[in-house]
Structure 1
Amino acid sequence: MFRDRTDAGRELLARLQAYRGDEVVVLGLPRGGVPVAAVIADGLGAPLDVVVVRKLGLPGQPEVAMGAIGEGGVRVVDDEIVRRARVGGDRFDEVERRELETLERRIAGLRAGRAPVPLRDRTALVVDDGIATGATAEAACRVARARGAHRVVLAVPVAPKDAAVRVPAADEVVAAEVPDWFMAVGQAYADFRQVDDAEVLALLEAARCTDDDASAPG
Structure 2
Amino acid sequence: MPSPKPRRSPKPQERQRDPERTRQLILDAAEAEFAAHGFKGARTAAIATRAGVNQQLISYYFEGKEGLYQAMSQRWQARQRDLVPPETPLDEQLRRYALEATHNPDGVRLMAWGGLEYSGPDSDPDHAPRAKMLERSVEELRAMQAAGRLPAELDPATLLVMLMAAAMAPTTLPHVIEGVCGTDPRTPEFIDHFAGQVALLVQMLGRASE
The two structures share one fold, judged by TM-score above 0.5: no
TM-score (norm 1): 0.30
Normalized per residue, the structure richer in strand is 1
TM-score (norm 2): 0.31
Higher gyration radius (CA): 2
